[in-house]
A and B are shown apart, each in its own frame.
Chain A
Amino acid sequence: MSAPFSLPALPYADNALEPMISAETIGFHYGKHHKTYVDNLNKLVDGKDLAQMSLEQIINHSAGKADMAGVFNNAAQIWNHTFYWNSLKPNGGGKPTGKIAAMIDKAFGDYDKFKTEFANAAVTQFGSGWAWLVQEGDTLKIVKTSNAEVPFTKGQKPLLTIDVWEHAYYVDYRNLRAKYVETLIDKLMNWEFAEKNLSA
């Protein structure tokens, strides 16, 4: 079997986000969950035209098609997790500076209002899913998606994400999703990554 998709390297050591996210969590989340999505997708595309497509093409091609749910879920979860790892960094979080800071003030009023809205989206996503800061046209928005859904299939450009599947926080925070979310926003958000994702 050819394996067109591979697990991207973590952008930091597995203990680099401690104590906010433990190496134990990363071990399962990256080493098992993320890897399983890659393995599953490679099996699903084996011998098919899909194997020639990029991950983004597969996601856009399979989105909303009931008979391609397995392909979509695994492809989108590969993409989402890679984007999540890059949305975090050691010594990140807090108020950004520069272009993105100005856009946040313009879209939300100020950083605190952005933070409240982002946290609220993450906390109120019922069941498994994701909270996102996205760019839509020349403005920024907060959106939430369920399970594997990604904003870019709806024309929104992801800038940052927080994973609120329970596996992202259960080992370290148990049911306290709100504490996990606030800790990430305060201490781990990678604003350089967000700024890089802005379209000109």
Chain B
Amino acid sequence: MTLQIKHIALAKSAKLTLAAALAVAVFPIAQSQAPAAPAATATAAAPAPAVFKQAPLPYAFDALEPVIDKATMELHHGRHHKAQYDALNTIAAGNPDVAKMSIEQLLANVSKFPAGVRNNAGGAWNHDFFWQIMAPADKRGSPSAALLQRIVADFGSVDAMKTQFNTGGATRFGSGWVWLVVKDKKLVVASTPNQDNPLMDIAEVRGTPIIGNDVWEHAYYLKYQNRRGEYLANWWQVVNWNEVNKRFDEAMK
């Protein structure tokens, strides 16, 4: 750990000569997706209010230990997810069509917007969802009878569903997500690249996600390194079935 901190300090002390390109590069996504006109010019009198607000993590950063470590949660929520909200707000400040929509509306119409909306509204929603469908040990619950019945009908067993889900996550090459989706009142496993999700109008499998796991390397690298399969297998221990049951009921209405 000390070794790693030292590296960052060293990089920090290096003279930054790429002022313009790298000033905002702590949030690389923000940089890549920022509109050409600086947001500040539209609202010179006062800083633009953040249209989209990132919610605090709904539990302590160490609440998912030992499956997901505290440091990973701090970076994941505090830097990666935050950067996506920041970038989305930067886009919204320069684009009223983005600012007036909800994140869900943006996803449903994502093909009509620049790639920055796809990447950052996607990332904002995916992580909000991800935090909610995990929970501390005393709040995880178990699958409802209705959900179990649907899982058995569509996969044969809970284990078969988990196997298919874990395979979907393991075989998503590069960065992305794996989902359990309600589609036409049935459950299917799907995976999406980068920050895409099944709510997007461009998704191969469109539907309502009720479970989703993040297989970007930042989600697991500090603890699991190259062992994505082990992360996927362990991850089921922290699923918030109470929330999944609720989302399942809602999607089946």
- Is the A/B pair a real complex? yes
Interface with B: A6-14, A55-63, A99-107, A170-178, which one? A170-178
Pair B21/A33 contact, Cβ less than 8 Å: no
Say whether, besides A123-B25, A126-B119, A183-B14, A175 and B217 are in contact (CB < 8 Å). Answer: no
Q: How far is the CB of A147 from chain B (nearest CB, A)?
A: 4
Whether B12 contacts A28 by the Cβ 8 Å rule is no
Determine, out of B44-52, B141-149, B220-228, the stretch whose residues face the partner at the interface. B220-228
Contact A32 B11 (CB under 8 A): no
| Given A69-B173, A127-B194: A20 and B7 interface contact (C-beta under 8 Å) | yes
Quote the shortest CB–CB distance from B232 to chain A (angstroms): 16
Q: Are B225 and A32 in contact (CB under 8 A)?
A: yes
* Interface pick from B75-83, B150-158, B235-243: B75-83
How many angstroms between the C-alpha atoms of A132 and B63 in the bound complex? Answer: 41
B7 touches A178 (CB 8 A): no
Q: Is the CB of A116 within 8 A of B10?
A: no
Beta-carbon contact of A124 and B31 below 8 Å = yes
CA distance A170 to B225 in the complex (A): 9
> Count of A-B contacts with CB under 8 A?
117
> Which residues of the partner chain B approach A33 to less than 8 Å between Cβ atoms?
226
What range describes how many residues of A lie at the interface? 35 or more
Asked if B26 is at the interface of the complex by the 8 Å CB criterion, the answer is yes
* Complex contact A128–B225 (CB within 8 A): no
On chain B, the residues within 8 Å of A82 by CB distance are none
Across the interface, do B75 and A166 meet the contact criterion of CB distance under 8 Å?
Answer: no
A4 to nearest B CB, angstroms?
Answer: 22
Given known contacts A28-B225, A123-B31, A173-B7, A128 and B22 CB-to-CB distance under 8 angstroms: no
Chain A nearest CB: distance from B76 CB in Å?
9
What sequence of 0s and 1s flags, for each residue 49-69 of chain A, a beta carbon within 8 Å of any chain B beta carbon?
Answer: 000000000000000000001
Closest to B119 in A: A126
CA distance A127 to B193 in the complex (A): 8
Given known contacts A146-B174, A175-B80, A182-B16, is B10 in contact with A166 (CB within 8 Å)?
no
Alpha-carbon separation in the docked complex, A180 to B6 (Å):
13
B60 CB to closest chain A CB, in angstroms?
Answer: 20
Query: How far, in angstroms, from A6 to B29 measured CA to CA in the complex?
Result: 36
Could you mark each residue 172-184 of chain B with 1 if its beta carbon is under 8 Å from any beta carbon of chain A, else 0?
0111100000000
State in angstroms the CA–CA spacing of A36 and B170 once bound together: 14
Q: Closest Cβ of chain A: how far from B82's Cβ, in Å?
A: 10
> Measured between alpha carbons, how far is A24 from B20 in the docked complex, in Å?
32
B window 70-88: CB within 8 A of A: 75, 79-80, 83
- In the assembled complex, A129 has its CB within 8 A of some CB on chain B: yes
The reply to whether B28 and A129 form a contact with Cβ atoms under 8 Å apart is no
In the assembled complex, the Cα of A127 lies from the Cα of B12 at a distance in Å of 23
Chain A residue at minimal CB-CB distance from B71: A174
CB-CB contacts below 8 Å: B189-221 with A: 193-195, 216-218, 221
Please state if B29 and A126 are interface contacts (CB–CB under 8 Å): yes
Known contacts A24-B3, A127-B175, A128-B174: does B79 contact A175 (CB below 8 Å)? yes
Q: List 17 A-B contacts (CB under 8 A).
A: A22-B3, A28-B225, A112-B17, A116-B18, A126-B32, A127-B176, A127-B193, A147-B174, A148-B174, A167-B226, A172-B8, A174-B79, A179-B8, A179-B11, A179-B14, A182-B11, A182-B16
Using A69-B173, A173-B7 as known contacts, list a sample of 13 further A-B pairs with CB atoms less than 8 Å apart, ordered by residue number in A: A22-B3, A28-B225, A28-B226, A32-B226, A119-B25, A124-B31, A128-B175, A166-B218, A166-B221, A167-B221, A170-B222, A174-B79, A175-B80
B residues engaging A (CB < 8 A)?
3-4, 6-8, 10-12, 14, 16-18, 20-22, 25-26, 28-29, 31-32, 75, 79-80, 83, 115, 119, 173-176, 193-195, 216-218, 221-222, 225-226
Name A residues whose Cβ lies closer than 8 Å to a Cβ of B: 19-20, 22, 24, 28, 32-33, 36, 69, 73, 112, 115-116, 119-120, 123-124, 126-129, 146-148, 165-167, 170-180, 182-183, 186
